[in-house]
Chains A and B, each alone.
Chain A
Amino acid sequence: MIKIDYNWAEPRTYFSTEGRKVPTLMVMRQKIILRSNFLSKFKSRFLLTLLLTTYCVTSLKAQNNDNITITGRVFDDKTGVGLPGATVHLKNTTHEVQTDQDGRFRFLTGQKLPVVIIVTYVGYQGKEVTETRRTNIDIPLTGTAGQLGDVVVVGYGTQRRKDLTSAISSVKQEEVAAIPVASFDAQLQGKAPGLQINSNTGVPGDGIFVRVRGTTSINADNNPLYIIDGVFINNTSLQTVNTGGRATSPLADLNPADIENVEVLKDASATAIYGSRGANGVVIVTTKRGNFNSRPKLNLDVSNGENRATRLWKLTTGPQHATLENEYYTNSYADALALGNSAGEVQFKTPPFTGTGWNPTAATGRGAPDVQNTYDREHQLFRTGALQNYDLSLSGGNKETQYYLGAGYSHQDADIRPLSFERAELRFNVDSKVTDWLQVGVSNSFSRSYRKQGRAGDGPDGGLLQSAINTPTYLPQFSATGQPLDYAGFDNLTILINYYDVHTISLRYIGNLYADAQLIKGLKFRTSWSLDYNNYNESQYWNNLTQDGAPPTNGLATSALTQNSTWINEQTLTYKTVFGEKNNFGVVIGNTIQSNLTTNTSATGTGFPNNSYTSISSAATTTSSQTWTKGNLASFFGRIDYNYASRYFLELSARADGSSKFGVNNKWGYFPSVGAAWRIKDESFLKEVQWLSDLKLRASYGLTGNQNGINNFAAQGLWSGGYAYPDNAGGAQPGTAPLQLANANLKWEQTAQSDIGADVGLFGDRIKVEANIYDKRTTNVLLQLPIPAISGFSTYNSNAGVISNKGYELGINSVNIRARGFVWSTNFSISGNVSKIVTLPTPIYQYNRDWLIMQQGHPLYSFWLYKQLYVDPQTGNPVFQGEVTGTGNTKSLAQLNATLPASARETMGNAAPKFFGGLSNTLSFAGFDLSLLFTYEYGNDVLNLQRFFGEGGGTRDANRVLLASQLNRWTTPGQITDVPRETDYGLNYTIQQNSRFLDNGSFIRLKELNLGYSLPARVVSSLHLTRVRFYVVGTNLWLLTKYTGPDPEANVTSIQTIQGLDLGTPPQPLAVQFGVNVTL
């Protein structure tokens, strides 16, 4: 991982009025460069060329050095560590230099003593030093202690953190960049209050679950809006191939190492300026840029490691399976006799695992349990995967231009074969001051992501985990003659592992070009053009040994090309002024237009000559299809902020959004907000309270909308053209049919959010607390509302329903110990959210067999199950809530087999946690640094569908594995267990949606442990380097949970209305990496 060097200039001070008077500096820099042995040894021709062309021009100018030379060192007043790249400026002159890697500077001035030196450095309080005698000065700088002095990126601008009226969390990506996941959002877990993140799968590069302050929508998108360097990027997976439910993350195309900062905009005051796309929160990502006036910095980060799954499913052995299966037969036979069920008597008379010899695939006489073998497919599938990461960056700048060049390569194996993720990215960010009033710049990133994909989820054919953990362990993979065997619709695992061929290449360009013009003092005009282009190329080939390609299909290949492009143009006019000394006033107005186009072309071929032919052009039968969709958005927005003496704050913002998605009667939506804050600390009655260093109260209210995730043409009445049918037997002729009913009133979902918060600083800001409570109420929820099917349509795109989210967030940062050389700081966050569907016209059932339900009066992610109260200790039969016929083998067969009425099904549980958060500790001492990040969730339920299949009580016989937990079944009167007696009769194993499989998913996880050692400064400088850090990173090292599956964060699908369904999803792996970071 690239470690950020901090010597960058404040990036927003583009409009320095100092002009181009820099000859002294340039000469100084030349000297620094030429003095550096390392650079002369460094063979990078392009680096030298860049430096020389940049600086030589200005070095021709002469300088007078007839007066004093001032030397000195700028360092952190707490740690004594030199601060490289600090600006040292001679007051009332144009002379300035920058400190070197040790914080030292050397100043050839044309001045005489006394001189006034101004030292500035980002993240530290500036200092003015008047020097009258010495020419060698030590200048200690005091850190601004965290975020109070920081600049926060807000919608269409920046603000000082201390001036915010809104709720915005910032995360320095550097703190978590070493976590080996493909997309940066997965690294943010536990880092920002109010931001809930679950990595639903161990497959790198797959999408994850991200929510800012709860879930506001059912059918529209619930993901936050992502903006990277001003580009509203696509976060909808372009995947079309079936990988068992989950989809890839478009954010994985970005290299986390290039990210400087992530801001999470949470309340309406912050997000309303994003109008109809702000309701789910906004994540603003700022990538690294160079620094004006700084020497080139080369940073190399290399890490290598391994990952593997630690918790897996516990399966029965072959003999255990056989014993359980025989017991099921024996019990069922006894019940059949008791019930006089002659068919059952025949069916269950002979347990299958009997006789001598060994014949596992026979109906009966498979051999006694103890002769059964155990075939461990699970550990054949799971592996220790390799992790590699290489990042190289070069950044720097002169007076006019700053640049950042980044190159990264990352390779990650999933913990299951044969899945992997690989990404190469190049980034080039440059900003140039064309004149003293005009600055232009570009951000570019180009990446290639390569994935080997597979079905790590639901579905029998091609399902990796399905094949590995659902096939009974007693069944061999190969026949006596070596032929691959498969069972119950699952593929042969060895065939899958050897021949899996699903791979995807994603080419992504994200770029932005802007021009900033300072029109008059305080008034700035900005125009920018952005492009997000993604070329997503998928191909899969199933040869004739796999089920999808088996005869008579004889090979199946698909190739799909999806292209997504968004262009955005925006203009803003920003004015900032101070009047009457204490009245700070700012205004932003702007407009933006944007267009998004997605096209897909795919071809499928079946009937290949043999497995050597994999191109679709070799196929006997080919089909193809095409889709095209486009959405346009035009917007106007504005914001006014005012504060009096940084004590009383008021902020108003509004946006008008016109969207092509909306119905003709509702083309335009309007989204206003108001925010206010009061810094009580500055009032006279608190001014003298020493222990309280800051206290600010905030309140905001506003409207935001949500239109993402609904079809671009959802409001239009449509007929489809794909209904081809022949006129005569033979080729199909084109046909048309009704597809969708129009809704001229269709519009955005509207979320009204109020937020009250406080920012508290204690003991000189050693402890800082940020607290918020909020109330979000979403109305006009976009729904595919069911309508009577007799209309010929089953759903209708409509606005109906109300969803409420209420919650709190608390973040505490403390510097526990700050002795010289030893720093220990802690960051704790906790957030709770209560969601409720306030009104919903009709319940919406989710996933196969309606495991989940969305129902008025209940939380969004509720399960819909039959509640197993207990297993009767005397009979071993389960007792269900709402059971009308009763159980027990005294009843008639009809009664026994009577299903529980659907009315007995209960809405219960909640896949969303009651509260969640993170705890991180950072310690540094004498070159060592250690950070520990724990993340946790409490009160979330997970439905362990693997148990539903694996605790079938023998009813599935050779079709499914039995989990080891089946061994807990009831066997003896008096026994207390929740696993019923094995039998074919009664409700023991016929109720699929059984609450028995609903587990508590609460957990605490040691998400990251990062231990580093930086070589001492003198060693490093003798090597002509700035910094060398060796480190080891452990991820997911420890997990505390009662969940019975491998990973309580697992979820079978990427469908956002479904959470907490764990079926055949690979767990997040434990990973350990070693790395070195070198800066020069």
Chain B
Amino acid sequence: MRPSPKKIFPLLLFAFPVLLVLASASCKKFLTVLPVNDVSDQVTIVDATSAETAVRGVYRSLAGGYAAEGGTGTGSYYGGLFETFGYLGGDDIVWTGSQSVIQQFISHNVTSDNGNLESVWTGIYQTVNGANQVIAKVPLVADPNFAAGEQNQLTGEGYFIRALCYFDLARTWGGVPITLTPTTTATQKNNIARSTLVQTWTQVLSDLNAADSLLSLPVTQNPVRVNKETAWALKARYYLYQQDWANAEAYATKVLGDVTNYQLLTPFNSWFQPASAVATRESVFELSYNATYQNSSRSSWQPPANGGTRQWAPGDSIAALLNNPLIGGGRSALVAQTSTGLWFGNLFYRSPATDPSYIIRISEVYLIRAEARAQQNEIADALSDLNAVRARAGVPASTDSTQAALLLDIENENRVEFALEPHRWFDLVRTGRAQAVLGITDPTKLLLPIPVNEITLSNGVLKQNPGY
């Protein structure tokens, strides 16, 4: 028997609004859906564990990492693009691809709309924001589970990474906008003008000093994270850039004094070959990659036969230098040849691309001290440091005894020692030799332009570098 519509109708008339009301009462809950892949930014660094994860996150931002298929990338700082700024400009690397964004660096004619320029700028400031989060929040955490000194260590790591960020910003762009607080809203960092170059360098030193005071000395050899000595090494490099030779020498000496954790490994290739050679004692600081977050340098260096694109490759001149037993010595391992005889860089070769990104190697600290000593006319000591690096590479010792010759030796040593690492361009600019060596007529090209989008978004507050 069917129910009478006449009975159902009033029932429905009643039920319908009730359902509506019920629906709207639970609506608020129904309309709030939280993600599971990510968490709210309201609760971020609250205890020891979340402080540790946040610090690791800053390292990951610093390291970037081209994500394996299915994952997401984490930025474009080290681990690929930033390094290219350091070596493409040095005239030793040639470009074989079709995109002019790379060629612009080689021909010293980078336009402000260059995509890589913007990627790196963004990647660095993303890391700065992560460091700012750590610096602002970790010291406030009150958690009995924090082991003694760990809170300071973590905060110090934040300061160190921020120092490195502003260091790289300063040497690439000159004076840049300085931001020292965590970003919480979209408009918070609008209209921040550039600081001067001096102010930017001052910020680097201030962060390095903070890091120096907060970080602990290494307990075990661990170059994938920073410690007090890592801060010293970066200070040595900082003072070298400031041409404060005495301090550069002093901090280099402090690092080189730790022979337990750092050593020039022989033969030369033993710090990157075989594939298991990661985080060796060669490294003062290197960044770590894994199958999930891979180092994108590899695919650009390796040839198609090895699953790469060989978009850029060692030029004939550097290949000749590296293969010269009197100049390159063991450093010839940095390059290899395809079956058709084309040179390719072989420092980044692992599959999956877990190759470390080398930030500071101990040989750099030797060469910093060599240069600082040479500048102070401590010729014998300088020669000793230079020849330590040369001996490790298996090339004859230098016997030059004049300051000028020695400085040139050190410049040339840097060229081959760091043939595939981001040194030569920055070194030549730092020493004022870029125009002479690279034939750059326009000195404004020694700094890169601020990305045009960043200028546009600043409402005129951000001024472009001259010449762009």
A725 and B35: CB pair below 8 A?
no
CA distance A525 to B14 in the complex (A): 13
List, in ascending order, chain A residues with CB within 8 A of B69's CB.
242, 558, 602, 604
Q: B454 in the interface, Cβ–Cβ < 8 Å?
A: yes
Q: A724 in the interface, Cβ–Cβ < 8 Å?
A: yes
Q: Which of B40, B60, B129 contacts A724 (CB 8 A)?
A: B60
CA distance A603 to B113 in the complex (A): 37
Among residues 78 to 135 in chain B, which have CB atoms less than 8 Å away from a CB atom of chain A? 98-100, 107, 109, 111-113, 118, 121-122, 125-130, 132-133
Name the residue on B nearest A523 (C-beta): B9
List, in ascending order, chain B residues with CB within 8 A of A240's CB.
70
* Nearest chain B CB to A272 CB, angstrom units: 20
B59 and A725: CB pair below 8 A?
yes
Name the residue on A nearest B310 (C-beta): A489
List, in ascending order, chain B residues with CB within 8 A of A603's CB.
70
CA distance A721 to B41 in the complex (A): 11
Among residues 397 to 452 in chain B, which have CB atoms less than 8 Å away from a CB atom of chain A? 441, 451-452
Given contacts A525-B12, A547-B307, A558-B70, contact A729 B125 (CB under 8 A): no
Among residues 588 to 629 in chain A, which have CB atoms less than 8 Å away from a CB atom of chain B? 591, 593, 602-604, 606-607, 621-629
Given contacts A520-B6, A729-B222, A790-B189, contact A738 B129 (CB under 8 A): yes
Given contacts A551-B307, A727-B225, A794-B122, contact A712 B57 (CB under 8 A): no
Contact with B along A690-727 (1 / 0, CB 8 A): 00000000000000000000001100111111111111
List, in ascending order, chain A residues with CB within 8 A of B72's CB.
720, 722
Q: B179 in the interface, Cβ–Cβ < 8 Å?
A: yes
CA distance A591 to B17 in the complex (A): 10
CA distance A558 to B222 in the complex (A): 34
List, in ascending order, chain B residues with CB within 8 A of A623's CB.
68, 70-71, 291-292
Q: B53 in the interface, Cβ–Cβ < 8 Å?
A: yes
A725 and B56: CB pair below 8 A?
yes
Binds A, one of B180-188, B240-248, B263-271, B329-337: B180-188
Most A C-beta atoms less than 10 A away, residue of B122, B128, B307, B454: B307
Q: Which of A517, A634, A713, A902 contacts B27 (CB 8 A)?
A: A634
B58 and A737: CB pair below 8 A?
yes
CA distance A606 to B32 in the complex (A): 40
Interface bracket on B: 35 or more
CA distance A583 to B280 in the complex (A): 89
List, in ascending order, chain B residues with CB within 8 A of A902's CB.
111-113, 452
A738 and B41: CB pair below 8 A?
yes
List, in ascending order, chain A residues with CB within 8 A of B290's CB.
724, 726, 731-732
A712 and B33: CB pair below 8 A?
yes
List, in ascending order, chain B residues with CB within 8 A of A658's CB.
27, 30-31
Q: A751 in the interface, Cβ–Cβ < 8 Å?
A: no
Size of the A side of the interface (Cβ < 8 Å), in residues, is: 109
Q: A6 in the interface, Cβ–Cβ < 8 Å?
A: no
CA distance A1007 to B188 in the complex (A): 55
* Nearest chain B CB to A736 CB, angstrom units: 4
Q: B456 in the interface, Cβ–Cβ < 8 Å?
A: yes
Given contacts A361-B340, A788-B457, contact A591 B20 (CB under 8 A): yes
Q: A806 in the interface, Cβ–Cβ < 8 Å?
A: no
Q: B23 in the interface, Cβ–Cβ < 8 Å?
A: yes
Q: A742 in the interface, Cβ–Cβ < 8 Å?
A: yes
A792 and B130: CB pair below 8 A?
yes
Q: A578 in the interface, Cβ–Cβ < 8 Å?
A: no
* Nearest chain B CB to A727 CB, angstrom units: 7
Q: B305 in the interface, Cβ–Cβ < 8 Å?
A: yes
Most A C-beta atoms less than 10 A away, residue of B9, B53, B130, B310: B53
CA distance A725 to B74 in the complex (A): 12
List, in ascending order, chain A residues with CB within 8 A of B177's CB.
790
Contact with A along B32-76 (1 / 0, CB 8 A): 111111111110100000101111111111010000111110100
B35 and A716: CB pair below 8 A?
yes
A625 and B111: CB pair below 8 A?
no
Q: A373 in the interface, Cβ–Cβ < 8 Å?
A: no
Given contacts A623-B70, A736-B50, A792-B128, contact A742 B31 (CB under 8 A): no
Q: Which of A606, A660, A791, A849 contacts B188 (CB 8 A)?
A: A791
Q: B158 in the interface, Cβ–Cβ < 8 Å?
A: no
* Nearest chain A CB to B317 CB, angstrom units: 12
Name the residue on A nearest B10 (C-beta): A519
B54 and A729: CB pair below 8 A?
no
A718 and B309: CB pair below 8 A?
no
Q: B192 in the interface, Cβ–Cβ < 8 Å?
A: yes
List, in ascending order, chain A residues with CB within 8 A of B190's CB.
787-788
Q: A739 in the interface, Cβ–Cβ < 8 Å?
A: yes
CA distance A523 to B98 in the complex (A): 68
B39 and A721: CB pair below 8 A?
yes
Among residues 546 to 578 in chain A, which have CB atoms less than 8 Å away from a CB atom of chain B? 547-554, 558, 560, 571, 573
Q: A130 in the interface, Cβ–Cβ < 8 Å?
A: no
B125 and A791: CB pair below 8 A?
yes
Among residues 305 to 327 in chain B, which have CB atoms less than 8 Å away from a CB atom of chain A? 305-307, 309-310
B304 and A489: CB pair below 8 A?
yes
CA distance A743 to B41 in the complex (A): 12
Q: A946 in the interface, Cβ–Cβ < 8 Å?
A: no
Q: B205 in the interface, Cβ–Cβ < 8 Å?
A: no
Contact with B along A531-556 (1 / 0, CB 8 A): 00000000000000001111111100
B186 and A796: CB pair below 8 A?
yes
Name the residue on B nearest A486 (C-beta): B304
A591 and B12: CB pair below 8 A?
no
A719 and B186: CB pair below 8 A?
no
Name the residue on A nearest B294 (C-beta): A623
Given contacts A634-B23, A737-B61, contact A792 B457 (CB under 8 A): no
B37 and A627: CB pair below 8 A?
yes
List, in ascending order, chain B residues with CB within 8 A of A622's CB.
291
A728 and B222: CB pair below 8 A?
yes
List, in ascending order, chain A residues with CB within 8 A of B38's CB.
713, 718-721, 739-740
B33 and A798: CB pair below 8 A?
no
Contact with B along A882-911 (1 / 0, CB 8 A): 000000000000100111001000000000
Most B C-beta atoms less than 10 A away, residue of A573, A790, A791: A790
A741 and B185: CB pair below 8 A?
yes
A722 and B68: CB pair below 8 A?
no
Q: A1002 in the interface, Cβ–Cβ < 8 Å?
A: no
Q: A126 in the interface, Cβ–Cβ < 8 Å?
A: no
Q: Which of A591, A659, A734 contacts B53 (CB 8 A)?
A: A734
List, in ascending order, chain B residues with CB within 8 A of A198's CB.
none
Q: A106 in the interface, Cβ–Cβ < 8 Å?
A: no
Given contacts A667-B31, A787-B457, contact A720 B37 (CB under 8 A): yes
Contact with B along A127-159 (1 / 0, CB 8 A): 000000000000000000000000000000000
List, in ascending order, chain A residues with CB within 8 A of B188's CB.
791
B5 and A792: CB pair below 8 A?
no
CA distance A721 to B113 in the complex (A): 32
Name the residue on A nearest B28 (C-beta): A667
Q: B351 in the interface, Cβ–Cβ < 8 Å?
A: yes
CA distance A660 to B27 in the complex (A): 10
Q: B145 in the interface, Cβ–Cβ < 8 Å?
A: no
B225 and A519: CB pair below 8 A?
no
CA distance A547 to B52 in the complex (A): 39
A560 and B293: CB pair below 8 A?
no
List, in ascending order, chain B residues with CB within 8 A of A732's CB.
288, 290, 292-293
Q: A646 in the interface, Cβ–Cβ < 8 Å?
A: no
Given contacts A571-B19, A724-B56, contact A738 B292 (CB under 8 A): no
A520 and B9: CB pair below 8 A?
yes
14 extra A-B contacts, CB within 8 A, seeds A629-B37, A728-B279: A520-B6, A552-B349, A591-B19, A593-B23, A627-B37, A632-B30, A719-B40, A728-B225, A732-B293, A737-B58, A788-B458, A789-B118, A789-B125, A990-B100
12 contacts between A and B (CB under 8 A): A525-B12, A551-B306, A606-B291, A716-B35, A717-B40, A717-B41, A720-B37, A721-B39, A723-B56, A728-B222, A789-B121, A789-B125
Closest A-B pairs by Cβ, 9 of them:
A792-B129, A729-B279, A735-B56, A737-B57, A552-B351, A717-B41, A723-B57, A791-B189, A723-B60
